[in-house]
Every structure is written in C-alpha cells, then in structure tokens.
Amino acid sequence: MGNYNFRNLEKNEYELWNEFVDNSPQGSIFAKTYWLDAVGSYYKILGCFDKGNRLVAGMPITETNKGHVSMPKLTQTLGILFNDFSQMKYVKKITKEKDITMDFVNNIPKLKFFDCAFHYNFTNWMPFMWKGYKEQTRYTYVIEGIQDIEKVRGAFADSTKSVITKSMGLNLKVIDSLTLTDMYSMLKKTYERQNMPVPFDFNWFSRFDKIINKNKSRKMLFTVDEQNNLHAALYLVYDRNSAYYLLGGADPKFRSSGAMYLNIFEAIKYSAKFTDKFDFEGSVAPQIESMFRSFGALQKQYFRISKNNSIILNLKEDIRKYGKIILRRG
C-alpha cells in the first residue's frame, strides 16, 4: 500500500493507454478512448503508476451526469485494468492486484453514484466490498480458440448444428454489402417485437458507427434469401483481445429460417481473422441466454459494482423498497 501514484492521463497519453488496453488481461475495445468517444461519454482515465513511473493499472471514469458514474450506451465492461502480472508467483500476483484495487477505491473521485461493470478477468472485488460497495453478478458467454473453426463447430449443440444446416439448405447467404440503415431497420423490428424502443436514434448510431468504422473495428453481416429478403443482421465489433456480438436481430416474419444462427456462425469465422475469442456479451433473457449457450461457449461471471452516496437517491430507493413492503402488508 502507498507504493503507487494516481493521476488522470493527459490526452497525449491516450495512445499509450490504448496499447495498455491491448496487453491487459482485462482489456477490451470498450476501454479504448475511441470507443468512449464514439459512445459520447465524458470520461477521464485514472492511471496507477509505480515508483518507476510505469503505468501498472488504469480505469476509465465515465460520468453520465455530474457526480454520477455509470456505463455508457453499448458498453459491456470497463472497470480496473491491470498490467499482465501472470509471470509472478500467484500469491504475489493476487496480493499486488488487491493492493492496487484498494488504492483505486481510495482514489476514485467523490461521487454521488457509482455503477460499473468489470471485465470477467477482474476476479477480486473485496476491496470495494470493504468500502461499502455492492455487487451484482452478471454472465456472458465466450468462445475461445476460434481459429480452430472445426473444433468450435464440434462444440455446438446438435440442435444448433441442425438449424445452421437447415438455413444453408434454404439457400440463405451472409453478405456485408447492405447499409447502416438496413441494420437499424432490423434493430427496430427486433425491439418492436418486444414492445421496446431502440435505446438510441439513428443519428446517434450513425455518429457511433463512423468512429468505430474509422478505427477498423466493426463488421456488419446480413443474412438474405434468394429474393434478397433480409432475414437477420449482426453488428460485430472487435480488437486484438476479442470479437463481440454487439447488436443483432431477426425479422419476425422469417424467424423460423434459422438465419440468426447462420449469421453468428459466419461472424465467428470472420472474427478468427483478427482475434481468438468471440464474446456474446451475455443476456439474462432466457431465450437469448439459451441461444448463446448452444454455441458451446464458456460461461463467464463478471461483477457489476455500485455505490450510492446520494441522500436523495437513497431516500428514493428506500421509498421504492419499503413502499412495496407497505403495499404487500395492506
């Protein structure tokens, strides 16, 4: 403890940060500065430096409102990223990570509200717990070793293999030549089927896509039939660490065609050109969870850590909780 210095990175250090993200076990595209720019987040990168002034850990602090840190749109995880300490003796590694995390907890700015999802390779949230933070366990599914595509396919559930074979028998094909408008149209149909609005408008999506595409970090895949009817669409993002199923949907009229399964399979094959992992990003919706699981992916737990320091927000939460109890009693 006390062996580290903390400060916000300067903008001229952001390239160094992005390289650090690539090499961190907790690194993901979501922690890179161009991603944070793309999602329109107001952010600072809190860096942790050792006595040799080497960056050993960092954490994007994303304020959605003044004094409120929460997850930006379309961002799966952020949290603390460590340097790769895997060559250290295990007891030294986990002690070092615990000490750094404790110092982070003590150096996070005073906030009214904190809510952040951490990467699944961040495994010890106890320093947050000791300071009164709460945790909710979330899940994602990750396929590792995707460059061995036959092994990957062999791990699919038999039902998933059958659906993919069926969709190929219908002469469906996956193309990349359609537009962002087509992608957004498919997203709208998917959300409307669930009686929900798309959580962003097309203008926001267009600005986001422009930055992600400029950084060569996305691919749009569309499944069409012989009449060029659009059955399904998938928006894939990727970096060196992993590819991520960011957005996707299927036309309700063609749900029985299995187009989404074929689209995912092609996305996995495409991703193998750049990385060795495919992250489904997880879902607690039973139907979506079972679909992701059917691709033979590994289940990964990750932490969503929060703390509410606002008297007003705490009062509202108490009213919400205890109001329900009063209603039940009445």
What integer is the mean pLDDT of 93-116? Answer: 94
C-alpha to C-alpha distance for 104 and 281, rounded to whole angstroms: 26
Q: Percent of the chain scored above 90 by pLDDT?
A: 85
Read off the pLDDT band of 255 (50, 70, 90).
Answer: confident
| CB within 8 Å of 94: residues ≥ 6 apart | 124
Query: In this structure, what token pair is assigned to residue 80?
Result: 């603390």
* pTM score, whole prediction: 0.91
Question: Which candidate, 85, 136, 127, places its Cα nearest to that of 108?
Answer: 127
What's the pLDDT at 329? 37
What's the pLDDT at 310? 67
According to CATH, where is 3.40.630.30 located in the chain?
A: 5-139+302-329, 146-275
pLDDT tens readout for residues 107-140: 998 889 999 999 999 999 999 999 999 999 999 9
Question: Which candidate, 118, 136, 130, places its Cα nearest to that of 1?
Answer: 130
Query: In this structure, what token pair is assigned to residue 141?
Result: 């599914």
- Given the candidates 3.30.70.1140, 3.30.470.20, 3.40.630.30, 3.90.1480.20, the CATH classification of the domain at 5-139+302-329 is 3.40.630.30
- Given the candidates 2.30.30.830, 3.40.630.30, 3.40.50.2000, 2.40.50.40, the CATH classification of the domain at 146-275 is 3.40.630.30
pLDDT tens readout for residues 23-80: 999 999 999 999 999 999 999 999 999 999 999 999 999 988 888 999 999 999 999 9
- Crossing angle of helices 202-214 and 180-193, rounded to 10°: 130
What integer is the mean pLDDT of 280-298? Answer: 86
